[in-house]
Structure 1
Amino acid sequence: MKIKNIVFDFGGVLMDWNPRYFFKEYFNDDEKMEYFLENIAQSEWNEEQDRGRLLSEGTEIQVKKFPEWEKELRAYYDNWTVMLKSDIPHNVEVLRKLGKTDYQLYGLTNWSEETFPYALENYDFFQLFDGKIVVSGTEKLIKPDPKIWHVLLERYNLDAQESIFIDDNPKNIEMAQSLGFNTVHVTPETDLEKELIDLGVKFD
């Protein structure tokens, strides 16, 4: 089947976000930083904000649980923009090339509704999606819940078999495959353009 649509995850594919970019200097102690990120401000907690919980609410919940870490927890979302270090240039370059083709470009991202506007305003390549972006925090659904892919498919009237889904999370790739998508699992070593060409994408 001919590929018509290319769906991008953002974090780890087009954007380099990592709380360590802020907390490394904040703690100046890698062991303490890793303890904090694994046990106090763990990814499962952050994901609830990506699912639609308010940043302020998420912070208060965690401060109540870990009052001795209050200062660090409040610093988390206050310094969120430092954690969004930059785009990932080689993948953004592929996106820009795709923007000059007839393929339809879509975004499907686990991202807080409150912080996503910052990325939209500060990185011009998001304009290539023409607003066709499904944000977990807005939908109150989060990958790998299959329902969020159904939101994308139904909202834009897409056929999964005519679409390529690109993500850095193996669980999301697995779910997308089970829904009929062609997929590219992105790692730091991935040559995204080559992977897309292998799936039949033409850049000319």
Structure 2
Amino acid sequence: MKSLVFDLGGVVVVWDPVAPIAAAVGPERAEHFVHGGEFDFAAWNRAQDAGRSWDDAEAAAIEAHPHLAAEISAYRRNFPLALPELVPGTSEILGALRSRGHRLVALTNWSAETFPHAPQRFPEVFALFDDVIVSGVEGVAKPDPAIFLVLGRRLGHPLDGVLFVDDSLPNVDAARAAGMDAVHFTGAAALSCELRERALID
């Protein structure tokens, strides 16, 4: 049996931050809010991934950007819309690994408050994981090296050689620095090849 560690958003579950906001203000305004540059959505959201509460996050953002109050409040309120589907092919890979007796652990950058929507939306996939480590619960997010110390404690054994899969190159680099065998996820087909090379699936 081997332990394998998977990121969730962009690897197992599709994450679309525009959709919850578009439900309130329309797609054009939502796209501008998330990707337009006036508001640093990535940095704002990352603080919640690292443990900041959504009440504090929304209050600070609305104070700084009162003209974006509708966009700011819409994301959490409509969050289930951010999870439209599973990433094609990954759940089948997880099932194949599980059938081989491997231990599956998720290590995700996710707010503690919004994370419960994911297992509610995809219970059959989350049932494949032996453990899920949520950055917002731990108060530290990838690629901070401290999150890999948390992972090691949860696994109960050294990280050396443990396979880690993530769609973020900084996270992959951090995992390698922690001694892991890290794979940059670009799709299920490429991941299957990586796993076959390691004799983890047929």
Output the TM-score relative to the length of structure 2.
Answer: 0.90
Aligned counterpart for 1:36 among listed residues 17, 20, 33: 33
Structure 1's unaligned 5+ residue stretches are none
Structure 2's unaligned 5+ residue stretches are none
2-structure distance, mates of 1:51, 1:100: 33
- In structure 1, the partner of 2:121 is 122
- In structure 2, the partner of 1:9 is 7
Q: CA deviation at 1:201?
A: 3.1
- Is 1:171 the counterpart of 2:165? The answer is no
- In structure 1, the partner of 2:137 is 138
Q: CA deviation at 1:188?
A: 4.1
Kept in 2: contact 1:184–1:196 (CA 8 A): no
2-structure distance, mates of 1:189, 1:7: 15
> What is the identity, as a one-letter code, of the residue corresponding to 1:159?
P
1-structure distance, mates of 2:20, 2:81: 6
Query: Number of aligned pairs?
Result: 198
- Is 1:151 the counterpart of 2:112? The answer is no
Kept in 1: contact 2:195–2:201 (CA 8 A): no
2-structure distance, mates of 1:24, 1:75: 8
Calculate percent identity across the aligned residue pairs.
34
Secondary structure in 2 matching 1:107:
strand
1-structure distance, mates of 2:109, 2:42: 12
* Alpha-carbon distance change, 51 to 24 in structure 1, aligned in 2, over 3 angstroms: same
Secondary structure in 1 matching 2:116:
helix
Q: Quick one: higher RCO (CA 8 Å, sep 6+), 1 or 2? A: 1
Instruction: Give matches, 1:11-160, under 5 Å.
Output: 11-24=9-22, 26-29=25-28, 32-37=29-34, 38-40=37-39, 42-123=41-122, 124-130=124-130, 132-160=131-159
2-structure distance, mates of 1:111, 1:51: 8
Kept in 1: contact 2:110–2:134 (CA 8 A): yes
Kept in 2: contact 1:108–1:134 (CA 8 A): yes
